[in-house]
Each structure stands twice: as C-alpha cells, then as structure tokens.
A and B are shown apart, each in its own frame.
Chain A
C-alpha cells in the first residue's frame, strides 16, 4: 500500500445529485415476503434507493451536481483548469463522460478533462489524482465528479444487488491554497479478487452477443444475465472487514491525531452490517460515523460525498473538521484519505 501526502490543496465545496424517483425496499416485489424484506433492510440498512428513469444517465446527474456547485462558489466556469470524472457507468463506451460534460458545462478547451473507471474506492482515487495534478501543474481550480447509475447494471431479478444499488453523482471543488495542511492518502488493490464484483459481457473480453441477455441461475440462487453486475457477497464482505480497518489505520497513523480527534469518518456505504463491523474494529463512535445508506443504498463512488451532503452539511459548512474518507470494493481496490476542511460550500441535495 502506498501512503503519502499532498500539501497546498483544499476542498472548497461538495454537492450531490440524485434522481427524484424513490423506491422503497419494504414494497420491493423482488422479496417473496415482508419478512424477507425486513431481514434484508435490517442487514444492509437500505430502506430506500433513488433510481433513474431510462432517459437519465450518469452525465446528467454529474452536470447537475457540478453546475450547482460552481454557481454557489461563484466560480467562472472558464477558470476551471481540470475536471476528473470517475465512473464505471458512462453514458457511452466511447467517448468518455468527461468529453460530454466538458461541452455541456462550457468548460474551456484548455481544461484537462478525462475519465477514470473506478467504483467504490473511486472518490479517494479521484481525489488523489486531481490533487496531485493540481499541485504539480499549479492549477488553481479543479472539479472532481464521481457517480454511477448502478441500477442500469443490476439484474432486476437479483436479490443481492437490485435492492442494494442506487444512483447518484457528486461534485467536489478543489483549490490551491497557502495553508500547509496535508491531505494524506493510502491506496492499494488486490486484483486476485476481480471476479467478486464483475460484469461478464459487454467489454472486449466477452463482447456483447445474443447469449448475453439470457438469464441464468447462479450457484447461489441469484438470477441474472451476462450484462448484469455479479457481486459475490460473502467474499466482498470478508474483504471489506479485513482491509478497511488496515488502510484506515495507515492514514490515521500518518496524522498526528488520535481516533477521538477525528470529527467524522465517512466510509463507502456498502452494507450497514459490514460497515458497523469496520466501525467497531476501529473503535469509532456512532456519532463519528454518519450513514446515508438507508436513504440511497450503495451508490458506488458517490457514497462518500453523498453522505457528506446528506448527513454532514451543517457541520461541514460551519466548522473546521478533521475527516477521514475510506472507500473499498470493485477491483478489488481500496483507498483512504485524511483531509481537514474549513467551512466549505455545501448546497442542499439536488434532485432531478
């Protein structure tokens, strides 16, 4: 694992956008009984999710989040020097979402804009890339966009993913700063677990073909086709509870802080039961560990900023906060970052 720090960059604003459409798990037809629904909700924590209609894609959620944030910051769009877009559900297989968004937002042609395909650990990976580039090049204003429409990739008949995944995007504005505060990163991965979060068909290894849409019954009794996300729940769980505490401690140890000094630890919202195990292993209190999974489900790379907007808005706009973000999942990969924020801009949740 690589643990390192970047100085001279700060977060100045965070916004998030979700679709208006709410789907409640207690009414979810995929469960054969209310008891089954209740059990699922109790373990995963997901009461309801936001699901896009067909005509809304990740770029739409991203642009809405970005424009609201830029507006509240009073930034001139032409001053934005870099825009990094983290998604694994882009509008098209080509070109990148960043190209679509660049033109729709009116970003300058000199704005460095590109996509990076990362999921659950994407907010931290994206932050690590944008902060390093801004610092190295001397770019004053940058936007990180994260988000996915996982609902478009989940099998409507798969009880492990359909009621868990939701759709969201978030925008984070970074600026060069004169303070000598450090942002600390710890990043790592284990590709031997690549099949634990996996979409079989539609890439170049298994191009889309007529069999891709045939539903089959998995060994674990789940119903999906080749275009749908496979989540090996047991292995992802086993991975999450071992890796997350280690990467979190790597970052904490590099700060001069104790666990009690952390104002909030925001984890990728994977599964309430798993996240609670991680929280307890780290001896974090419930007050330090906000959740948004109940309202939005697992929204991939957007879960961390979405949790901030949904649960931490009052504090993050009015106080200086010591924060640790920890994301882990598809790859398998993981990333943790420590950052100190100083009364940032945080508009209310955007719904489209």
Chain B
C-alpha cells in the first residue's frame, strides 16, 4: 500500500492488518505462486471503509479502484518524465482522472504525457538531474560512440560509482533520484567517467574515440572553434562565445590529436551537462 498503490496517508494500520488477513493462503512453492485454501482466513474484513470476505484477488481489485492509486501512479509517471516544478496539481489530477477512466492503462498515460505540450515546453528542458544510466547512455548516443559499443559491464560499473547499482536499489522504494543523484562521490565519478570516455577507456581494448568525424559531419571543414561550439550546444544546450573561449583555453595545452576529446571531456564534466 505504501509504495505501490495508495501511498502513505491513505490507509491505516488497521487496513494493513485486515489486508494481511485477505492475503492469507498466498504462498510461493517451488518458484510458483500457490493458493492454499486451507490457510485462507475466510472471515469478514474491513478494509478502506468497505466490508466483505475479501480474498487476495479482491483486495488487489479494491486497491486498484482507489482514486489514491491512480493519483500515485500518475505522480510516479510525472516524476519520471517531468522536471522540477513543471507539473502542477491541476495537471496531475487530470492525469489521475484519465488513468481512472482508462483502467490504469499506463500505455495511455505515457502516450498522453509524451504527446503533451507540457512535455515539450521550455520549462521542461534541463529541469531535472539525469540519473546515471540515462546520462551515460545519453552521452554515448549523443556523441555517436555506440559502434563499436563500449563495454556494458564497464558502463554498469560506472553507473554504480555514480550511485545507481543496476538491479540493486538501496531499498524496496528504489532510488530517490532527482537532486539526490549529485553527491560528492557521484559527481567525481561523473567527472572521472568523462575523462575515461575521452581517453577511450570505456572500450575493451581501449581506443581513443574519434570525434573528428562527427565534428566534420556537422561542420564540414569548420575551424576548431566551430566544432567546440557545436559540441557545447549538443551537450549543454547552448554556447556563448566567452564560454567557448574558456574551453579553447582548457584544451589548448593538450596534444593536438587530443584537443577535441579534452574539450568534450570538459563539457561532460560541466554542471549543465547533468541536466536533462
């Protein structure tokens, strides 16, 4: 009830106890779900203000029909796809009502969200901290460094260092996400990742990536400065001339064949790069 349907505040300790009675008889045997009728409490239960001889299935039905469940599901979807302060109470209620009338169809909800003006609005751009996996994969895709692909086990290790140990969330509630992705250790991991990417250490065997080809594709015979500007816009969303100058200065002392990758590492390690 707490995490997966209603959310805290929409049920009481008594509801929990009564629901436990409804669930009696549910068990797992030899990795298969089993219902043991002999162990099921067939008496009347009072759950969320309703009385009945609820079975486990009926309990599930009851929970799914609660408005709080639709609201919480809508909220979780918004947490995933929208940034800070983007979705208001009105929009959330609207989504929750839609979910209720579509029998909690998440496909419908996702379509609605991804086709919405709000999703594409200015205020939804760069309004959330990207989690490790999306930041890692996003960086490689944006830089078109997926062929050959980097070592996925290596990337998973980087993700763990950034705080997202895949398939091992810290507790039943999953990862909190958002701003909590940025702690000292995880920020340093992101900077070290940027360095590893630039040096080609994400691949086995190590191979410095070629960003020149990508740069040329978008800025044929452009000057180095034009390339930097393009990458800054790609990775950070914008690039003022003074900012580009700073990057040029940072990359200036690198050996010529490393100047571009050094610049890109700098961009990836910039705070703005973590926002999506």
Q: Does A associate with B in a complex?
A: no
